[in-house]
Amino acid sequence: MPIRAENRARYPQDWKLRSYFVRKIRARDHCEWCGAENSQPHPKTGSKVVLTAAHIYDDRPEAASLLNLAALCQKCHNGHDATARHQRRKARQQAGQTELRLQARLDRPAGRIDTGLLEMRSHPEESLSALDNMQKKPN
Ligand SMILES: [Zn+2]
């Protein structure tokens, strides 16, 4: 992946050295996931392999620990990034839904919930037994 201009400052100063170490020394010019060899046709896609250093567990540019980096071919790198994008989108959607639910609760008339919480704080044991009794009553 080419580094986006707006993210360049977030990479460590020795990023090129880290990338080189992961691709050339540790992975010996092979994709660490599928084994495709750098500069050769990919065994599955047939396109020329260009190894890149990919962020695996933490995709922030500054998370450049060697344990967080892997030498990957385009196919593996794109697949990994697509999965990460999908998970982030899903997390954002879930966070949005949680926010909507919380907002709906806040928008409700406050009376019952607030006084209930205040009562629980000042008389926790009585409130708990009152709750128990409420739950025991048939609807
Ligand atoms: Zn690969």
Residues 6-40 pLDDT 10s: 889 999 999 999 999 999 999 999 999 999 999 99
| Residue 87 CA to ligand 1 centre (angstroms) | 21
- HEC states along the chain? CCCCHHHHHHCCCCHHHHHHHHHHHHCCCECCCCCCECCCECCCCCCECCCEEEECCCCCCCCCCHHHEEEECHHHHHHHHHHHHHHHHHHHHHHHHHHHHHHHHHHCCCHHHHHHHHHHHHCHHHHHHHHHHHHHCCC
- For 70, phi then psi, to 5°, come to -140, 145
Give the number of other CB atoms < 10 A from CB of residue 62.
Answer: 13
| Residue 18 CA to ligand 1 centre (angstroms) | 19
| Residue 76 CA to ligand 1 centre (angstroms) | 4
| Residue 53 CA to ligand 1 centre (angstroms) | 11
d(CA 60, CA 68): 10
d(CA 22, CA 19): 5
Report the candidate in 37, 86, 29, 40 with the shortest Cα–Cα distance to residue 59: 86
| Residue 92 CA to ligand 1 centre (angstroms) | 28
| Residue 51 CA to ligand 1 centre (angstroms) | 8
Q: For the chain, how many residues are written? A: 139
Please report the pLDDT score of residue 114 as a whole number. Answer: 52
| Residue 74 CA to ligand 1 centre (angstroms) | 7
Contact 93, 42 (CB under 8 A): no
Please report the pLDDT score of residue 80 as a whole number. Answer: 94
Structure tokens belonging to residue 36 = 């495709």
For the segment 45-70, what is each residue's pLDDT rounded down to a tens digit?
999 999 999 999 998 999 999 999 99
For the segment 82-130, what is each residue's pLDDT rounded down to a tens digit?
988 888 889 988 888 877 777 777 777 655 555 555 555 566 666 667 6
| Residue 36 CA to ligand 1 centre (angstroms) | 6
| Residue 75 CA to ligand 1 centre (angstroms) | 6
Q: Which residues are in the CB-under-5-Å shell of ion ligand 1?
A: 31, 33-34, 36, 73, 76
Domain boundaries defined on the chain: 5-98, 111-139
